[in-house]
Amino acid sequence: MSYFVLKNSVENYIMLENSMRVVRKPEVKNLLGISHSTLHERINEGLLPKPFRLSGRAVGWYEYEIQYILSALAAEVSDSALADVVNTLIKKRKEAWASLRQ
């Protein structure tokens, strides 16, 4: 899978996604098969989107974001391509919020 196809399919993937299911940190670590420290390392490197706050100490991610990251990892995309995908996912979060406010 090329980076171009992956980048163009992010929008289609999100538009087709009907579920707004939120997954919490333990489930994300389990889905990705990584440790707590690796999770935070990947977030800091821009290879995973930052979680959003659910309440005082609870954070989560949209499940479709994590599934999309898994698809990119399975396709063996480069770290720079993965970082671009993460930026696109974050941009889509902001656009969704902006569209609700109009």
- According to the model, what pLDDT value does residue 12 have? 55
pLDDT tens readout for residues 28-71:
999 999 999 999 999 999 999 999 999 999 999 999 999 999 99
- According to the model, what pLDDT value does residue 1 have? 35
Q: Where are the domains of the chain?
A: 3-101
Q: Which CATH class is domain 3-101?
A: mainly alpha
pTM, to two decimals:
0.78
* DSSP-derived secondary structure letter, 51: P
Residues β-bridged to residue 57: none
Model confidence at 3: pLDDT above 50: no
d(CA 45, CA 39): 10
Containing H/E element for 90? Answer: helix 79-101
Q: What percent of the chain has pLDDT over 90?
A: 71
Name the burial class of residue 86, with classes exposed (0-12), middle (13-18) and buried (19+) by CB atoms within 10 angstroms of its CB.
buried
- According to the model, what pLDDT value does residue 27 have? 97
